[in-house]
Chains A and B, each alone.
Chain A
Amino acid sequence: MSESKEELNPATQFRELYDQEYRSVYRSIRAVVLDAAAAEDLTQETFVRAYRARDRYTPTAPPGAWLRRIGINLAISYLRRQKLARFLPARLYVAPDRRDYDRAEARDVVTKALTALSPKLRAAVILHYYDGLTREEIASVLGVPAGTVASRIAKAVAIMRKATGSDQDWEQERSSNEGALRGR
């Protein structure tokens, strides 16, 4: 993890663990689903699952990484269900109202770049750059080999750099055009 925190035992200190890790688990999940409301719901669900499994926790990984494994897997399953739900007849599937989210996030360059990635690439990026996990730790969280993690991060970085760069180019072009119009 990025900060050094006291390692709490989920079996006996679950309440403290909840208060300590809630925000960072929320942020990791939100980076995968890119939806603030769904991320809050999935964060609570993560802790419900963790609470049920707290007696089975083995300290091979820090509790934060254990929570992220549950949260990221829940987030990826959620997105898979959303994708499948689109195949339902229109009356059975009600698309989530994303207008508020789109309005609020439209100007955010990083969010736009994350949108260009698949959920699995997003998970690798956020665990590496935000949570500061090593490739081996990410491999353990995602249940894939460390080599796969390395290739996912490299691919994600290439896509994000391109997306961010083109976005900044566009912003510069727009400000230049606005400057030209103001100069008339």
Chain B
Amino acid sequence: MKVPYVEDKPTQGGSAIPSEDDLGRMIRTTVDNWSPRRGPDWSDLMVRIAGTGPPAWLLYTTASAALVIILVAAYLVGSALQLGALAPQAIPGHIQP
């Protein structure tokens, strides 16, 4: 198929790579056009603030500390009551050579 040559202007005005200033302008123009769909919503913000629980670090630290306390308490109670593997183990009296 024969496609006629059409003179376009890809090289007119020099390189297509924009200068740093042009790039800055392009960024500002593009970003200025970004608008949130809802805009500032103070009541939603207040609902979020009221609905949020303790911060995650506090939650994880408390949960870890509680787990350590439970494990230590279980060990102490098991030892005191001689439960399961925490009871004194019987030593075989007659070991055959």
Contacts and interface: CB of A to CB of B under 8 A. Distances in A.
B37 interface: yes
A47 B23 contact: no
B6 interface: yes
B27 to A, nearest CB: 4
Given A51-B49, A180-B3, A183-B6, A111 B38 contact: no
B94 interface: no
Interface residues of B, number: 35
B45 A48 contact: yes
B49 A165 contact: no
Nearest to B8: A176
| Contact size range, A | 35 or more
A26 B10 contact: no
Given A169-B16, A172-B10, A175-B8, A130 B28 contact: yes
**Interface majority SS on B: helix, strand, loop or mixed?**
loop
A172 B8 contact: yes
Contacts of B20: 157, 161
A160 B5 CA distance: 32
A180 B27 contact: no
A39 interface: yes
A173 B42 CA distance: 48
Interface in A21-68: 22-23, 26-27, 30-31, 36, 39-40, 43-45, 47-48, 51-52
Nearest to A109: B26
Contact of A130 (B16, B27, B36, B39): B27
Contacts of A18: 40, 42, 45
Contacts of B34: 26-27, 30-31, 36
Given A18-B40, A27-B34, A130-B31, A183 B4 contact: yes
Interface of A: 15, 18-19, 22-23, 26-27, 30-31, 36, 39-40, 43-45, 47-48, 51-52, 108-111, 125-126, 129-130, 157, 160-162, 164-165, 168-169, 172-173, 175-176, 179-181, 183-184
